[in-house]
Chains A and B, each alone.
Chain A
Amino acid sequence: MSTDETIAQDDSNIDSMSATARRVLPFERPIFEMEEKLKQVERTGPPSAASRELIQNMREQIAKMKRNVFDHLDAWQTVQVARHENRPQTLDYIELVFDDFMELHGDRAFDDDRAIITGFAKLDDRKVLLVGQHKGRNFKERTEHNFGMAHPEGYRKALSKMQMAAKYGLPIVCLIDTGGAYPGIGAEERGQAYTIAYNLREMSQLATPIVCVVIGEGGSGGALGIGIGDHIAMMQFAYYSVISPEGCAGILWKNSKFADQAARALRFTSKDLLEFGVIDEIIREPPGAAHRDHRIAAANLKASLTQALRHLSGMEREQLVERRYEKFRKIGVFEESLITNVST
Chain B
Amino acid sequence: MSTSPQQSEVSASQDLPRKRGVPEGLWIRCDGCHDTVFRKMVEKNLGVCPQAGCGHHFYVPAKSRIQQLLDEGSFEEWFAEILPLDPLSFHDKKPYRDRLRDEQQKSGLSEACLVGRGYLRGRPVVLGVTDSSFIMGSMGSVVGEKLTRAIEAATRLQLPLLIVSGSGGGARMHEGIYSLMQMGKVCAALGRFHEKKGLYISVLTNPTMGGVAASFASLGDVILAEPKALIGFAGPRVVQATCKIELPKGFQTSEFLLEHGFIDRIVARADLRSEIARIIDYCG
Contact = CB atoms under 8 A, between A and B. Distances in A.
Interface of A: 181-185, 187-194, 196-198, 200-202, 204-205, 220-221, 224-225, 227-228, 240-243, 247-248, 251-253, 261-262, 265-268, 272-273, 276, 278, 324-325, 328-329, 331-340, 342, 344
Given A183-B233, A344-B78, A227 B184 contact: yes
Contacts of B260: 189-191
A328 B188 contact: yes
B176 A197 contact: no
Given A183-B234, A198-B218, A224-B184, A332 B178 contact: yes
Interface string B166-180: 000001110111111
Contact of A339 (B81, B88, B194): B81
B142 A188 contact: no
A196 B233 contact: yes
Interface in B134-150: 141-142, 144-145, 148-149
A334 B113 CA distance: 14
A247 B173 CA distance: 10
**What secondary structure prevails in chain B residues at the interface with A?**
helix
A197 B178 contact: no
B144 A332 contact: yes
A328 B185 contact: yes
Contacts of B83: 334-337
B254 to A, nearest CB: 13
Q: Which 7 A-B pairs have the closest CB atoms?
A: A183-B234, A332-B141, A204-B188, A200-B187, A193-B213, A252-B92, A333-B87
Given A181-B214, A242-B211, 17 more contacts: A183-B234, A183-B242, A185-B251, A187-B233, A188-B252, A193-B217, A194-B218, A196-B214, A200-B183, A201-B187, A220-B180, A243-B173, A266-B176, A325-B192, A334-B85, A336-B82, A342-B79
A4 B233 CA distance: 57
Interface string B194-224: 1100000000000000110111111100000
Interface string B27-46: 00000000000000000000
Interface residues of B, number: 73
A333 B85 contact: yes
12 contacts: A188-B234, A188-B251, A193-B213, A204-B191, A228-B187, A228-B188, A242-B175, A253-B93, A265-B90, A329-B189, A331-B178, A336-B82
Nearest to B208: A193
Interface centre among B179, B187, B247 (most CB of A within 10 A): B187
B182 A332 contact: yes
Interface centre among A196, A220, A228, A344 (most CB of B within 10 A): A344
Contact of B184 (A228, A276, A333, A338): A228
A240 B180 CA distance: 10
A180 B82 CA distance: 31
B176 A331 contact: no
A54 B197 CA distance: 73
B157 interface: yes
Contact of B178 (A193, A333, A339): A333
Interface string B127-167: 00000000000000110110011000100110000000000
Contacts of A340: 81
A204 B195 CA distance: 12
Contacts of A221: 171, 180, 183, 210-211, 214, 233
Contact of B233 (A192, A201, A228, A262): A192
Interface in B51-102: 77-85, 87-88, 90-93
Contacts of B26: none
